[in-house]
Structure 1
Amino acid sequence: MTGNKTALVLGATGLVGQALVQQLLTDARYSAVICLVRRPVAANLFDDPDRKLQPMVIDYDQLQDYQGYFNVNHVYCCLGTTLKQAGSRAAFRKVDFEYVHVAAQLSRAQRCDGFVWISSVGANANSKQFYLRVKGELENAIMRMPQLTHASAVRPSLLLGSRASSRPLEEFGQKLAPLLRRVLVGSLSKYRPVYAREVAAKMISLQLF
């Protein structure tokens, strides 16, 4: 039996986004899973037996114009890039800070029940590392946003899974992952490499209301 909640996913075609959407499509709470994407989604990308998936092609640079899509129960934001892919610090910040921040603002405007996004282990607005500083600044901006109920960030370490694009550091981490997952325990457990499906499951667990 399918529930009556609706979910909105941003970044549905990324590593975590794909795992998340697939889990949402089998979650009995949801009757619809809306995905805001830059380009049409391949028909075979997801297994959707109940036909819940509703992909919508949008221009992320004009995200504020799509406020109506945020009239859902739960918003999941999996947007993110790398400095190499973005090409510049400004382009990186546009994706990892501006887009996510606008999504949080639209979620608040539509009074969504919950907003969950992907941050990073070590996120700190005072960090000397640009990547971690941007992630920390975003956490501060969203968590201080008034009237945004149930906003939560997940802070994964190195992400594991099969990517379309090559990331040498992550490929190296994939090889070391079994060892690192055994030795990083206790206070160091937050630095363990984590599979995309695990991050997705954590995001969904934060929307249990």
Structure 2
Amino acid sequence: MREMTTAALVLGASGMIGLQVVRQLLDNPAYHKVYAVSRKKIALEHPKLEQLLADFDSINALIENLQVDHLYSCLGSTQKKTPDKAVYYQIDHDYPVKVASILKDNGCQVVALVSSMGADEHSKNFYLRMKGETERDLTKVGIPSTLLFRPSLLIGERNENRLAEDIFSFLFKGINLLLWGPLKNYTSIQGKDVASAMIHASLKNPQGVHIYKTSTIKELA
């Protein structure tokens, strides 16, 4: 059994993947402390868990002296929830980059980011360009192990209703069987599997920048 020597911070702890990451970290004997950052309290209690209620404007004061080994960035809004693109960009891009910069200066060794399939800083699509720019700028922060996860359609428990995604999730269960080879990266994936892959990869602490697409994420999970 691995010794409990690792502290982690989960940014976006109330989301589908973030909550799964928190749960799995609490069950993992390698971690002795888990900081969960969200705007409202999550329904979890554990001796290893400390909840930090914050947003973009208030996070600095809570983490400026915080030392963690691993940062899990699981933030992600939607255009429906955040129609103002400037606010959307602040949540999905500025927030994780700022937190990573602060924690890097405090000694953080690994950052694992939930990005998106098709992330591309040169894309004409706002969402994919934003995700690509987040990857680019997070990489520039210089955390020794930078892990970028690009899952396809996510399925699993959510706190909010996303009807269109629920419909696509149902349809993709059958379509997944038809996707082979390079097309396996387009299969849908459970949020809990993304969380598991992020933790497994982070504990391996691979140096440099690494990109994980759906098929590899499933293998790691």
TM-score normalised to structure 1 length: 0.90
Q: 1:90 aligns with which of 80, 83, 86?
A: 86
Deviation at 1:97, TM superposition (A): 0.5
Task: Say if 1:60 and 1:69 are closer, same or farther in 2 by CA, change over 3 A.
Answer: farther
CA distance in 1 between counterparts of 2:76 and 2:9 reads: 16
The amino acid of 1:100's aligned partner reads P
CA distance in 1 between counterparts of 2:66 and 2:110 reads: 11
The residue that corresponds to 2:150 in the other structure is: 155
Q: Does 2:199 correspond to 1:204? A: yes
The residue that corresponds to 1:136 in the other structure is: 132
Task: Say if 1:90 and 1:149 are closer, same or farther in 2 by CA, change over 3 A.
Answer: same
Deviation at 1:57, TM superposition (A): 1.5
Q: Does 2:164 correspond to 1:169? A: yes
Q: Does 2:32 correspond to 1:31? A: yes
Q: Is contact 1:3–1:30 with CA below 8 Å preserved after alignment? A: yes
Runs of 4+ with deviation above 4 angstroms: none
Q: Is contact 1:22–1:47 with CA below 8 Å preserved after alignment? A: no
Deviation at 1:132, TM superposition (A): 0.2
CA distance in 2 between counterparts of 1:76 and 1:69 reads: 18
Q: Does 2:185 correspond to 1:190? A: yes
SS at match of 2:57: helix
The residue that corresponds to 2:208 in the other structure is: none
Please give the per-residue CA displacement for 1:105-126, whole angstroms capped at 9, x wherever unaligned: 1121112111111100000011
The amino acid of 2:9's aligned partner reads L
Structure 2 unmatched runs, 5+: 206-221
1:105-116 equivalent positions in 2, closer than 5 A = 105-116=101-112
Q: Is contact 2:41–2:51 with CA below 8 Å preserved after alignment? A: yes
CA distance in 1 between counterparts of 2:101 and 2:60 reads: 9
The residue that corresponds to 2:114 in the other structure is: 118
TM-score normalised to structure 2 length: 0.86
Number of residue pairs aligned between Structure 1 and Structure 2: 203
Q: Name the % identity.
A: 33
Structure 1 unmatched runs, 5+: none
CA distance in 1 between counterparts of 2:172 and 2:22 reads: 24
Please give the per-residue CA displacement for 1:90-144, whole angstroms capped at 9, x wherever unaligned: 1110100010111121121112111111100000011111000000011111223
CA distance in 2 between counterparts of 1:161 and 1:47 reads: 22
CA distance in 1 between counterparts of 2:199 and 2:57 reads: 27
The residue that corresponds to 1:104 in the other structure is: 100
Query: What root-mean-square deviation, in Å, do the aligned CA atoms of Structure 1 and Structure 2 show?
Result: 1.7
Please give the per-residue CA displacement for 1:146-198, whole angstroms capped at 9, x wherever unaligned: 3x210111001111012222212211122113212212221111111110001
CA distance in 2 between counterparts of 1:160 and 1:47 reads: 25
SS at match of 2:112: strand
CA distance in 1 between counterparts of 2:103 and 2:180 reads: 36
Q: Does 2:14 correspond to 1:7? A: no
